[in-house]
Structure 1
Amino acid sequence: MKIHQISCAAWLFVLSATLFVNDAAAHLTYTELTTDEGVRFVIVNGSFDADDDLSKFRRAVVSYHADAVNFDSPGGNVEKAIELGRLIRSLGLNTVTVRTKECASACSLAFLGGVIRVAEAGSIGVHKASFSDTKGMRVEEAVAAVQAITADVISYMTDMGADPGLLKLSLQYDSDDIRYLSASEMKRYRVTTPDEEEPQSESQAPSNISASLQIPIAQNGIVQHPMGTAPLKESDKADSKTVAKFANGSALNIEGSDGDWYRVSIAGQTGYMHHTWVWVREFEENQFGKRYIQIKSVDNLEAARSVVLNSKIPLAAHLTTNGWFAITVKATGGNDFERSLLRSLLASHAIPKDAVITLGNTYVREVCCSPAVSNK
């Protein structure tokens, strides 16, 4: 494809120089542009409206034999932007944004539809959706509508290979404000795809897939139990006598490990706690309080690597204390975000129905591996 024949930086410059600033139209319109290098663009102008007929976009792309899509849009209807993004992906098109044109709010979702996505720093803006369509609804109806749209956005971002953690960033900015993304943020949230000339990152390089499988000796920990308190048991049996209970955040010393149980001393008492109840300081999964969506576990690294690299959604594999590998959804966000993401992924059948949210106390380190962005 022509778009591969020049570097991302080069054709961003060409497009920036070719485009001129004009006022965005009220509804979507489409104009055409061919660069000196022969890359054919369809430019999407205006605000996304629920009534926009996207068959006009399809006809413009097909008749012009377009390679890529550029945007000049302040946003608009979220569902219509997602619809356009999916159409862009189904047509195998790439997307580009430059600072001389605007792509903000819902437009950023349409941009994610590109197979290859390139953007200048500061050219994509995000913020909290206004959900104006919920005006006049009862509270319960409005809440349900917002939850449904949020689930649709999370599912769409995941399908497009972007990190749904971008939604969490967007929610920090009111609908009358815009947060323009830096180049590093667009990489972090996989808004843009890597330049072909860009060297692979360490996490992507196959030579680093087989990270150390050594499990550090657990010596110090913190109580972290999904119920808020963890029991200290008299022996390494689930049905043994409970000596005491300790709240999450309580520090403890780990004196040894018997199977799936730690022998611990805490607040002057000695007993046993299950591995799943203790966050270990020596492990490299060192974000206390982080929750993960675990979809399965496998018993060897090659199987874990295969699952992650062949997935349509971003996944990660973690070495666990029993030597197996836990496969999780790779996303950033708080507890409420993880619950919303789990519901969305289950509803779209993107993950097994027995997937669970876990504290990941048994995770030693992430060992694999940033998948290539799906082109499907």
Structure 2
Amino acid sequence: MKLFQMSCAAWLLVLSTTLFASGAAAHLTYTKLTTSEGLRFVIVNGSFDADDDLSKFRSVVISYHAEAVNFDSPGGNVKKAIELGRLIRSLGLNTVTVRTKECASACSLAFLGGVIRVAEAGSIGVHKTSFSDTKGMRVEEAVAAVQAITADVISYMTDMGADPGLLKLSLQYDSDDIRYLSASEMKQYRVTTPDEEEPGPESQVASNVSASLQIPIAQNGIVQHPAGTAPLKASGNADSKTVAKFANGSALDIKGREGDWYQVSIAGQTGYMHHTWVWVREFEENQFGRRYIQIKSVDNLEAARSIVLNSKIPLAAHLTTNGWFAITVKTPGGNDIERSLLRSLLASHAIPKDAVVTFGNTYVREVCCSAVVSNK
């Protein structure tokens, strides 16, 4: 991507001279921007609200082929900001902020989702979280709620490669105050990532982890449906009209994505197919026709690693298109071995009762942990 070829200073210069001032909206909206250098940004505008639909963000990013995210937000709901940050990371996007835009409070958490993070000094503000959701609770309930969200923030910061010590700094400033970070503080707390010219000692490790979590843009695919054929829908809705049906193995082009639906072109017709019906060529799970025994899915890599590494049977974890991780049983594949193995494992209570055999069309790549079996 072009962004990876630019220094941090160049990114900031481009954005500072391109972005225009605008008032932040009440809820999240998304603006597309292409700079004169051809860099494609999605600008997140407004306050984070608990009921914001982030599938709209995903659709804009994928259809626009965005490379990075910029923010104009005073903050808002912490959980929603963390959700957006994890989505940004799963999509392999970078984040950039400049002083002509505001990214304060909860917005700073969303910013941490970037694979590469670049910020002008004074462009990111932090303060103590306002726990408005605890109003009306008993003291014990309120304390438990505050402890839970604090634990979520620390876990998230750690997952994103930032220093949780940033939270301690934030707690020094009341919710009606704001503390804008200097360049040295952003570097100290790993809010920003090192410039290519100044790599940190852990940069290679972080780069490898980040690369494993990037999701390629789906462009070409093959129909792969458990029933043997998949319907082409008139719109991205299961109840919409079926335009035609196509057999497994039919090639198609993916033009965009709207929520869980791909907009596709197939055999001269255009329409929509659910993403679970399409095997994508750009993904690294590149064995068309292979089946997997999926036993569960989790929302973060560390949880996935823990399940795999502590299992009594060989397991693997796969990054999926929604940024979660599917846990599967390690099998050689072929000859429909998965169905008979599933019955055997269920009978012995070795796997959960809701385990299923799937084509794994949503699997992007295996991310953990090569043929590891616990000795427990």
Q: What TM-score bracket applies, with the shorter chain setting the length?
A: 0.5 to 0.7
Q: Deviations over 1:78-107 (max 9, x none)?
A: 000000000000000000000000000000
**What is residue 13 of structure 2 aligned with on the other side?**
13
Give the greater-gyration-radius structure (CA).
1
Cα offsets for 1:201-231 (capped at 9, x unmatched):
5x6699xxxxxxxxxxxxxxxxxxxxxxxxx
Q: Which SS does the other structure have where 1:23 is aligned?
A: coil
1:131-180 deviation digits (Å, cap 9, x = unpaired): 00100000000000000000000000000000000000000000000000
1:91-130 to structure 2, matched below 5 A, reads 91-130=91-130
Residue of structure 2 in register with 1:168 after alignment: 168
Task: Give the match for residue 47 of structure 1.
Answer: 47
Q: CA deviation at 1:197?
A: 2.0
How do 1:126-141 and structure 2 match up within 5 A?
126-141=126-141
**Residues 348, 174 of structure 1: CA spacing in aligned structure 2 closer, same or farther, 3 A cutoff?**
farther
Aligned residue for 1:222? none
Tell me how far apart the structure 1 counterparts of residues 32 and 203 of structure 2 sit (CA, whole Å): 38
Equivalent position amino acid for 1:145 in 2? A
Q: In structure 2, what is the Cα distance between the partners aligned to 1:348 and 1:90?
A: 15
* Map 1:301-320 → 2, pairs under 5 A: none
Q: Output the TM-score relative to the length of structure 2.
A: 0.55
4+ residue runs of structure 1 moved beyond 4 angstroms? Answer: 203-206, 308-312, 347-352
Query: Aligned letter for 1:139?
Result: V
Matched, 1:194 2:194: yes
Q: Partner of 1:24 in structure 2?
A: 24
- Between the two proteins, the alignment pairs up a number of residues equal to 219
Distance in 1, Cα, partners of 2:49 & 2:133: 12
CA distance in 2, matches of 1:147, 1:91: 29
1:204–1:52 CA distance, 2 compared to 1 (3 A): closer
Q: What is the one-letter code of the residue matched to 1:173?
A: Y
Q: What CA distance in whole angstroms lies between the structure 2 residues aligned with 1:111 and 1:72? A: 11
Instruction: Give 3-state SS (helix, strand or coil) of 2:69's partner.
Output: strand
Contact 1:155–1:348 at 8 Å: present in 2 too?
no
C-alpha displacement of 1:311: 8.5
Matched, 1:89 2:83: no
The code of the aligned residue for 1:130 comes to S
Deviation at 1:351, TM superposition (A): 8.3
1:256-275 equivalences under 5 Å are none
In 2: Cα distance, 1:350 partner to 1:192 partner: 26
Cα distance in 1 for partners of 2:187, 2:90 equals 23
SS at match of 1:153: helix
Q: Give the Cα–Cα distance (whole angstroms) in 1 for the partners of residues 139 and 202 of structure 2.
A: 46
Tell me, in whole angstroms, the C-alpha distance in 1 between the residues paired with 2:99 and 2:114: 18
* Letter paired with 1:102: E
Distance 1:54 1:140 in 2: 32
Deviations 1:43-84 (A, max 9, x none): 000000000000000001011100000000000000000000
What is the percentage of aligned positions where both structures have the same residue? Answer: 83
Relative distance call for 1:93 and 1:311 in structure 2 (3 A) is closer
Residues 350 and 146 (structure 1 numbering): CA distance in 2 closer, same or farther, change over 3 Å?
Answer: farther
CA distance in structure 1 between the partners assigned to 2:203 and 2:150 by the alignment: 34
Aligned mates of 1:154, 1:205 — CA distance in 2: 21
Q: Residue 194 of structure 2 contacts residue 203 of structure 2 at CA under 8 Å; is this kept in 1?
A: no
Q: Within 2, Cα distance between the matches of 1:26 and 1:178?
A: 19
Q: 1:139 to 1:162 in 2, by over 3 A?
A: same
The match for 1:150 is: 150
Which residue in the other structure is 1:178 paired with?
A: 178
Q: Which residue of 1 aligns with 2:78?
A: 78
User: Tell me, which stretches of 5 or more residues in structure 2 are unaligned?
Assistant: 211-299, 308-366, 369-376
Distance 1:111 1:64 in 2: 20
User: What are the residue-to-residue correspondences of 1:163-312 with 2, within 5 Å?
Assistant: 163-198=163-198, 200=199
What is the TM-score normalised by the length of structure 1? Answer: 0.55
Q: Tell me, in whole angstroms, the C-alpha distance in 2 between the residues paired with 1:28 and 1:349.
A: 30
> Considering only aligned residues, what root-mean-square deviation do their CA atoms show, in Å?
2.7
